[in-house]
Amino acid sequence: MAYYDLIATASFGVESIVAGELRALGYHDLIVENGRVSFKGETKDIARCNIGLRTSDRLLIKVAAFRATDFEELFQQTLRLGWEDFIPIDGKMHVTGKSQKSHLSSVPDCQSIVKKAIVEAMKRRYHVLRFEETGAVYKIEVALAHDVATLTIDTSGPGLHKRGYRIEKGEAPLRETLAAALVKLSRWEPGRELADPFCGSGTIAIEAGLIGRNVAPGINRRFVCEGWPDMSREVWREAREEAHAAIKDVKFRILASDADGAIIKVAMQNARRAGIAESISFQKLRIEDFSSSRKYGCIICNPPYGERTGEPAEVEKAYRAMGEVYDRLDKWSLFALTPHPFFERLFGRKADRKRKLFNGMILCHLYQFLGPLPARRAVGRPNRGEAAERETR
């Protein structure tokens, strides 16, 4: 079986989380770069990673990377590649592109030249002058950065954040992949209280529920490469069976609340579609009224920004209320994603850690207020006390 050079793309700041997921899936010799994690894999790995990766945006096959400073060089280098080994005679070839700090800055021209070179390369095997392109889709990207052209084929189709459960969205939705990354960064585990007091359409709570039960995010969707003739149906069947077998039957409770009763109904519908509704308690509740008598809990939230939702005065009021609520909680941690430049001042304390993340095109910080973790339960023994040690993240 052939090996491929694979790229799991990632949003800025999430690359290390994607790398951690790949290691957990059994992949090593990873190359972590801005916006991507590269590794090698077979057809079965394309299936496993598309189904199992929570925080990656999509999975690409890297065909080649080479230097190109003029159009002739781009054409000739693309022509010499074995496109006929990837694309069948009826393959639908869709070329996209981007360019950053390169001599070849006209993206439409680069796309046209790459498409022409691919068609010429295909003629070597198929000996036809025209390709109908009525078959499976092959989305090819030419990405130029500092005069290096990287050619890839997308195996995912719709981005990996498209889990299939979020048909209805709130006013300012958080991508599922970023929500999963926030949960991963919090180090939350089932058995520990988890809350999102600004739950919106429920994305953070649902992603946490899927993580808690180890439900693969892509288990209920299809991917564009499943239509490729050289992708074995048996490989995909085995990958889905593996994902189903890995689901854990564990009980835990996630608290998801929001001041907007209408959006709570949307969140409940999304949770039902995700198959995780029994693990999430939804409630219409203002942030000012949030409370919990439990210890060692964790709040993960994407509060209003004031840019797309909510008036600035209301947003600042909510941030102050968050700080007051947090002061009343016993040994809790809190993770809040926001672009607001004065969040810490409004919240009332400095974060223990901050991490830059992009929510769409908005540069945000994940403000991390780290409380103590509950004592880990010894194997075969109950957790007898509430002794805890400071988080080391």
For residues 356-379, give the mean pLDDT: 87
**Architecture of 4-154 per CATH?**
2-Layer Sandwich (3.30)
What pLDDT, on the 0 to 100 scale, is given for residue 374? 86
Domains of the chain: which residue ranges? Answer: 4-154, 176-219+248-390
Contacts of 190 (CB under 8 A, 6+ apart): 212, 213, 250, 251, 252
Closest CA to 139 of 87, 94, 204: 94
Spatial distance between the Cα atoms of 226 and 149, rounded to a whole number of angstroms = 27
Report if pTM > 0.75.
yes
**Residue 309, CB-side half-sphere exposure with 13 Å CA sphere:** 15
Angle at the Cα of 243 from the Cα atoms of 242 and 249, rounded to 5 degrees: 110
**pLDDT, greater one: 168 or 293:** 293
**CB atoms closer than 10 angstroms to residue 260:** 15
Span 211-254, pLDDT tens digits:
999 999 999 999 999 999 989 999 999 999 999 999 999 999 99
Maximum Cα–Cα distance for the chain, whole Å? 76
Span 254-291, pLDDT tens digits:
999 999 999 999 999 999 999 999 999 999 999 999 99
Query: Are 33 and 6 in contact, with CB atoms under 8 Å apart?
Result: no
Which class is 176-219+248-390 in CATH?
alpha beta
Span 39-64, pLDDT tens digits:
999 999 999 999 999 999 999 999 99
Spatial distance between the Cα atoms of 114 and 104, rounded to a whole number of angstroms = 12
79: tokens are: 């022509």
- The CA-to-CA distance between both ends of the chain, in Å, stands at 40
DSSP 210-273: HHHTT--TTTT---GGGGSTTS-HHHHHHHHHHHHHT-------EEEEES-HHHHHHHHHHHHH
